[in-house]
Amino acid sequence: MASLTLRRLTKKFGEMVAVDAMDLAIPNGEFLTLLGPSGCGKSTALACIAGLERPTSGEIVFDDSAVTDLEPHQRNVAMVFQDYALYPHMTVRENMSFGLRQQRLQAADITNQVSAAADMLGLANLLERRPAELSGGQRQRVALGRAVVRNPAVFLMDEPLSNLDAGLRIKTRTEIKKVQRELGVTSVFVTHDQEEAMVLSDRIAVMRDGRLQQIGPPMDVYRQPDNLFVAAFVGSPAMNFLDATLEADGDQMICRFAGQSVRLPQRAARGEITFRADGRTRVVMGVRPNDMAIGGNDDLIMTGKAFLVEPIGPISYVDIQISDTVIKATCEPDLAPAIDAAVSLSFKPERTLFFDRETEARI
Ligand SMILES: Nc1ncnc2c1ncn2[C@@H]1O[C@H](COP(=O)(O)OP(=O)(O)O)[C@@H](O)[C@H]1O
Ligand SMILES: [Mg+2]
C-alpha cells in the first residue's frame, strides 16, 4: 500500500491535451474516483499512473518515490479494465495465481493467497471452472481477484462495471467497496457514472477536458459543487437551473426568476455577494429536484403548472412549466398533481445555489 501523488501531470497526444496539469494527493488507503464525461482524460490519467502511458510532463509519486520513469511491472500496481480479459484456457484458480507464479512465490503461499481472495469475493467453489463456465459478474470478480491477490501498492480500475447489466453492476460495486475496505488498498477508480462514484468513493475528483474541476467527499461535491459543470454532472435527475437576478435588501436578498421572486438570507450564498450598482446581479439559480417538493413545507415557494408525472415508487418526479422554463420537482406519489394543475413548490434557502453567469463559478 502506498500514498499516491500527481504533480502537474500532463499528457498530450500531438496538440491534444488529454490530461492538463493535474495535481492530486491520495492518502494511503483512500478510494478515489476520477469522474467525468467520455473523453475528459480519465483513462489517460489512469494509464499514466499504471505506467502504460508516459506523461508529457509532471510527476507521479508513490509514497516518497517518483515512479514516473518506471515500467509498469516495477510499480506494483494492479489494474482492472472494463473487459476482464481472463485467460480462457485457464481455470479460475490458474487465472488468479498467474501473476503470483510469475513472481515465483512458494506454491503454499500461492494457494493461501488465492484462497483468501476467493473467499473474499465469493469465488471459493468456482476455482476449478473456466471463464466460459462463469457469468459476466463472476468473471469480473475473478478479474478483481486476480488483481488484488498480488497485494498491490495501488489498485487501479477503469470502468470495471460497464459491461455488466444493471442489477449485477450494483451487486459488484458493493463487492468492490467491501474488498477495498478489507484490504485497505489505495484505489483509483474511473467512471462516467456519477452514482457509482458517489456510492464507492471516499473522495471524488471531477474532470472536464483534461482538467480537474473539484475534489471532495461525495456529499460535499453533491451539495457544494464549485461550478455549474459539477452541479450539472453530479446528481440524478440533474439539478434545475433558472436564470435569476439578485438584489440586496438589508441582510436579505431578493431573488427574481421567471416572473416570480423569493426572499433569502444573504448567507444562502457562498460568500459575500457583490451586488451591482443597478441592483440587478444576474446569476444562475440551481436547485435539485430532490430539494424541491410539491406540497412541502419549506420556506421558499415557486409556482407553476404540472405537465408530466413520473412515478418511480418511493417518490414521483413532476415536470413543471414555469414561464418558458421546465423544471423537475418531487412529490409524494399519493399527492401527484393532475396534468395542467397549478402547483406550489417549496424549497430551502440553504439548498439553493447561485452561480456566476460568466465564470460559472458558484457564488
Ligand atoms: N492513444 C491516443 N492517441 C490519441 N488521442 C488519444 C489517445 N488516447 C486518448 N486520446 C484522446 O484523449 C482524450 C482523453 O481520452 P480518455 O483518457 O480515453 O478519456 P476518458 O477515459 O475520460 O473517456 C480523448 O480526446 C481521446 O480521444
Ligand atoms: Mg476511458
The pLDDT value given to residue 1: 79
Query: How far away, in angstroms, is 184 Cα from ligand 1 center?
Result: 30
Residues 314, 323, 286: CA angle, nearest 5 degrees: 55
Residue 154, number of CB atoms within 10 A of its CB = 24
- Give the separation between CA 280 and CA 296, rounded to whole angstroms: 30
Residue 362 C-alpha cell reads as 458558484
Q: Note whether 96 and 118 are within 8 A (CB).
A: yes
Q: Which domains does the chain have, with CATH numbers?
A: 4-233 (3.40.50.300), 240-356 (2.40.50.140)
Ligand located closest to 37 CA: 1
With 80 as the cut, is the pLDDT of residue 273 above it? no
Q: What is the dihedral of CA 228, 234, 239, 243, to 10 degrees?
A: 0
- Give the separation between CA 238 and CA 94, rounded to whole angstroms: 45
The pLDDT value given to residue 299: 85
Please give the full DSSP string across 130-168, using - where no structure is assigned: -GGGS-HHHHHHHHHHHHHTT--SEEEEESTTTTS-HHH
35-68 CB burial, b ≥16 within 10 A, e <16: bbeeebbbbbbbbbbbbebebeebebbbeeeebb
Pick from 165-174, 218-227, 265-274, 337-346: least confident: 265-274
- Give the separation between CA 333 and CA 324, rounded to whole angstroms: 26
- Give the separation between CA 173 and CA 171, rounded to whole angstroms: 6
With 90 as the cut, is the pLDDT of residue 163 above it? no
Query: How far away, in angstroms, is 86 Cα from ligand 2 center?
Result: 20
- Give the separation between CA 286 and CA 184, rounded to whole angstroms: 37
- If you count them, how many residues does the chain have? 363
The pLDDT value given to residue 250: 85
Average pLDDT over residues 5-14: 98
* CB of residue 213 inside a 6 A radius of ligand 1: no
* CB of residue 40 inside a 6 A radius of ligand 1: yes
Average pLDDT over residues 348-356: 93
With 90 as the cut, is the pLDDT of residue 168 above it? no
pLDDT confidence band for 2 (50 / 70 / 90): very high
* CB of residue 38 inside a 6 A radius of ligand 1: yes
With 90 as the cut, is the pLDDT of residue 304 above it? yes
* CB of residue 37 inside a 6 A radius of ligand 1: no
* CB of residue 48 inside a 6 A radius of ligand 1: no
Q: What percent of the chain has pLDDT over 70?
A: 99
For the stretch 42-68, pLDDT in tens is 999 999 999 999 999 999 999 999 999
Q: Mean pLDDT highest for which of 80-94, 122-136, 201-215?
A: 201-215
* Cα separations in angstroms, 195 against 8, 82, 178, 200: 28, 17, 17, 9
Please give the model's pTM, rounded to 2 decimal places.
0.93
Query: How far away, in angstroms, is 200 Cα from ligand 1 center?
Result: 24
Mean pLDDT of the chain: 93
Residue 158 C-alpha cell reads as 477503469
For the stretch 323-351, pLDDT in tens is 989 999 999 999 999 999 999 999 999 89
Q: Which residue, among 166, 164, 165, 146, has the nearest Cα to 155 in the 3D structure? A: 146
Query: How far away, in angstroms, is 38 Cα from ligand 2 center?
Result: 7
Average pLDDT over residues 131-160: 91
- Give the separation between CA 304 and CA 315, rounded to whole angstroms: 19
Task: Name the residue at shortest CA distance from atom 7 of ligand 1.
Answer: 13
Q: Return the best residue to mutate from 9, 16, 190 for the ligand 1 pocket (most ligand atoms within 8 A of CB).
A: 16
* CB of residue 16 inside a 6 A radius of ligand 1: yes
The pLDDT value given to residue 63: 96
For the stretch 306-326, pLDDT in tens is 999 999 999 999 999 999 899
* CB of residue 13 inside a 6 A radius of ligand 1: yes
Intra-chain end-to-end CA distance of the chain, in Å: 39
Give the position, in ligand 1's atom list, of the atom nearest the Cα of 45.
17
Does residue 349 have a cis bond before it (omega within 30 degrees)?
Answer: no
Residues 32, 34, 40: CA angle, nearest 5 degrees: 170
The pLDDT value given to residue 312: 95
Give the position, in ligand 1's atom list, of the atom nearest the Cα of 41.
17
For the stretch 287-297, pLDDT in tens is 999 999 998 88
Average pLDDT over residues 173-197: 93
Pick from 107-111, 195-199, 272-276, 350-354: least confident: 272-276
With 80 as the cut, is the pLDDT of residue 71 above it? yes
Q: Note whether 309 and 334 are within 8 A (CB).
A: no
Q: What percent of the chain has pLDDT over 90?
A: 76
With 80 as the cut, is the pLDDT of residue 274 above it? no
Query: How far away, in angstroms, is 39 Cα from ligand 1 center?
Result: 6
- Give the separation between CA 151 and CA 148, rounded to whole angstroms: 5
Query: How far away, in angstroms, is 43 Cα from ligand 2 center?
Result: 4
Give the position, in ligand 1's atom list, of the atom nearest the Cα of 210.
14
* CB of residue 44 inside a 6 A radius of ligand 1: yes
* Cα separations in angstroms, 261 against 59, 114, 255, 266, 303: 51, 63, 5, 15, 10
Residues 62, 65, 70: CA angle, nearest 5 degrees: 80
Query: How far away, in angstroms, is 80 Cα from ligand 2 center?
Result: 12
